[in-house]
Amino acid sequence: MAEVRLRVNGADHPLDIQPQVSLLDALREHLGLTGTKKGCDQGACGACTVLADGERINSCLALAVQYEGAEITTIEGIDHPLQAAFVRHDGFQCGYCTSGQICSAVGMLAEHKEGMPSAVTGQGSGSHLSGAEIRERMSGNLCRCGAYNGIVEAIQEVAG
């Protein structure tokens, strides 16, 4: 067992957990923050996306102990215009990937603002967040219901 102090959504949580507990399981099983989802537990679907110090990560491949001291934000700690935009544009069906999509989109918008390029960013291309840019940048979040169009529209609306 290891004593770990996790900072989640602005609050400190002392935890006594084994080192193999993932950040995802720490959130879901130990802190009761079940908004973050487990889809594959192998970094292949993005349902577990949370923000660590403002950057999106897959919490299933993060050991909780490793993220001691980091500011973790989960869907429960997010209050963002994207959430209403997802509803308006029907950016989900079953809702299981939605927390991950929203956390990922929040992180993505910040990355883009800071000049992070993507695989489709052309050399010297401007700062416009096109549909193609959003699709590439969001490709780490699978949606099996196929709500991709609505998700992209919601992000586009919020990005302006």
Distance in angstroms (rounded) separating the CA atoms of residues 52 and 107: 9
Toward other proteins, which CB reaches closer, 108 or 159? Answer: 108
**Contact flags string 75-114 toward other proteins, x per CB under 8 A:** xx-x----xx-xxx-x-xxxxxxxx--x-x--xx--x--x
Cβ–Cβ under 8 Å, residues 30 and 21: yes
Taking CB under 8 A as the rule, does residue 28 contact other proteins? yes
Distance in Å, CB of 154 to other proteins, minimum: 10
- The Cα 31–Cα 28 span in angstroms is 6
Give the number of residues in contact with other proteins, rule: CB under 8 A.
87
Of residues 43, 71, 130, 157, which one binds other proteins by CB under 8 A? Answer: 43
In eight-state DSSP terms, residue 11 is: E
8 binds other proteins (CB under 8 A): no
* Kind and range of the H or E run holding 83: helix 81-88
